[in-house]
Structure 1
Amino acid sequence: MSWRWEYDPDEEYVIGGAPPAFVAEVEKSADELVRAAEALYLDGSSFQGDNPRSEHVRVPGGMFVFLLVPRHECGYVLQVTYV
């Protein structure tokens, strides 16, 4: 399995209607967070313990809530706020 990120529950619900430049910033930051998680949790599928807390990530134009689940080797963008 390789690390990835996705919108939860889906892209339209989480970020639908946001300007393309803002969406690009959210997706760029999500890519970076997943790359960092892959380096930190070398074998996420065998991870034992509590998941990290969700975090609020600031990007130009707003912020988003990101949850990392090492056992799924996945990060989830749960909510976005565009200002």
Structure 2
Amino acid sequence: MSWSWEYAFGAEESARTAPPAFLAEVEREAAEVLRAAEALYVHGRSHEEDDPKGGDVAVPGGMFTYQIVVRSERVYVVQLTYLG
């Protein structure tokens, strides 16, 4: 399995109505969070500690909240906030 990111929970529904330019920024920054997680947790599937605390990332037009689940090798975007 390799690392990937995806929308989760209500963020998936919010992504359906958010402007494309905002979503492009969210997706670009989520990919950066993904690359950082992949580099930091090289052996993700065998990770034995607790998952790291998630965070917030500001993007033009709003922000998003993410959570890293190391053993699943996933970054989940769990909330989108468009300030439009």
Q: TM-score interval w.r.t. the shorter chain?
A: over 0.9
- Return the offset for 1:7: 0.6
Alignment RMSD (CA, Å) = 1.3
- Please give the secondary structure, in 2, of the residue aligned with 1:30: helix
**Residue-pair matches, total:** 83
2:38 maps to what in 1?
38
2:5 maps to what in 1?
5
List alignment gaps of at least 5 residues for structure 2: none
- Return the offset for 1:4: 0.2
Q: Give the whole-Å Cα distance in 1 for the aligned partners of 2:12 and 2:51.
A: 26
What amino acid sits opposite 1:38 in the alignment? E
- Return the offset for 1:16: 1.8
Q: After superposition, give the CA deviation of every residue in 1:40-71 in whole Å (9 maximum; x if it has no partner).
A: 11110000111111101111110001000110
TM-score, structure 1 as length reference: 0.93
Query: Given that residues 11 and 80 in structure 2 are in contact (C-alpha distance below 8 angstroms), is that contact kept between their aligned partners in structure 1?
Result: no
State the percentage of identical aligned residues. 53
- Please give the secondary structure, in 2, of the residue aligned with 1:13: helix
Q: Give the whole-Å Cα distance in 2 for the aligned partners of 1:38 and 1:70.
A: 9
